[in-house]
Amino acid sequence: MKWLMAGLLVLLLLLGGFLLAPSPIDAQAWQPPVPEPMTGLLAPNEQLHDAELLALGQVYGPEDTTVNSDGVVFAGTQDGYIVRVFPDGRVENWLSTEGRPLGMVFDQEGNLIVADAWKGLLSIAPDGEITVLTREAEGVPFRFTDDVDIAADGRIYFTDASSRFYQPDYQLDLLEMRPHGRLLRYSPKTGETEVLLGDMHFANGVAVAPGDDYVLVNETWKYRILRYWIKGPQAGQSEVFADNLPGFNDNLAVDEQGRFWVAFPAPRNASVDTLHPTPWLKELVAKLPQSLQPAPMEYGLVVAFDSDGKVITSLHDTSGMHLQEITSVNPHDGYLYFGSLHNDRIGRLPLRGIPGLGEP
């Protein structure tokens, strides 16, 4: 009996300590929209099973990819390296940013422009020399530089997903549900960094539309894509491009036909949606070990949209065995390339034959 009482006392002390310990977040209530059914063009399929796997077992966490004019695939991995995957299958650790390279794209001079979660916006010359372009805007340092794209005039559009939480703590940003994200623009001519949109709930993937009329940016935690107008009578204004998406939208890119491709690391999580209206409960969950917090479903999902924000087609891997946690999808020379935050492979799928696209 004494042992039982002592055990209960220890349990109560532990519980009391857990309840009284400060939470790492200051959560805000949010009412998520009711998910739309995954039917029609969003109906599950196994199209991603047809993807070829590049660098299988030789990379870890190739979050984003880009391809140069020689067909060499570049990707940033979890250990801070940018790897090169050559057409003959050879994989090389090209260089280390000593951070976490995420979004990347080549500029017109052949420099690799990289959004590094820790280091900021970088320019890497063909010889490997790294230059930091910018690390702050309006006096607020970047904590989570995320994705990047370049307009025809050379200006660079990129995102700082969160000005409060660093990359490993993205789940805390989700639970807190406060607008810490920003869409930014950097001018190589002036060296100035502008904030185009602030107060975003995890500003993520970014893509400049053909013609440079507007830029799309993913607002991941709100399951939506925003359109920010660069030119025309609405220049400087933003609007919702697509809403109530079927998952956590990550990077996005546009192909030569003007179709926007969006990567979804995971479908919507019912547990997270249930937590969102109750801040105190989210603050308790945030104190739990990450292994006890809501986990993403193992699934592969990519969705294509037209210029009006309508779904064209979707690609799935319902088991996540072939491609899962897809964080980027990049069209290049008739193929789609798929990156992942934690997987050990890069996917490549020919555009030809994908249902709903017609002839390329």
Residue 13 has pLDDT above 50, yes or no: no
Query: Which residue carries 């970047």 as its tokens?
Result: 142
> Model pTM?
0.94
Q: What b-and-e string marks burial along 158-179, b requiring 16 or more CB atoms within 10 Å of the CB?
A: bbbbbbbbebebbbbbbbbbbb
Residue 20 has pLDDT above 80, yes or no: no
Residue 225 has pLDDT above 80, yes or no: yes
Average of pLDDT values for 195-206?
98
Average of pLDDT values for 47-68?
98
Nearest to 266 by CA among 297, 245, 302: 297
Instruction: Give the per-residue pLDDT at 358.
Output: 67
Residue 166 has pLDDT above 80, yes or no: yes
Average of pLDDT values for 186-215?
98
Residue 10 has pLDDT above 60, yes or no: no
Query: Which residue carries 């107008």 as its tokens?
Result: 229
Residue 260 has pLDDT above 50, yes or no: yes
pLDDT tens digits along 261-297: 999 999 999 999 999 999 999 999 999 998 899 999 9
pLDDT tens digits along 307-324: 999 999 999 999 999 999
Average of pLDDT values for 215-222?
98
CATH class of 43-350: mainly beta
- The better pLDDT of the pair 16, 25 is held by 25
- The better pLDDT of the pair 122, 10 is held by 122
Distance separating alpha carbons of residues 60 and 36, to the nearest angstrom: 33
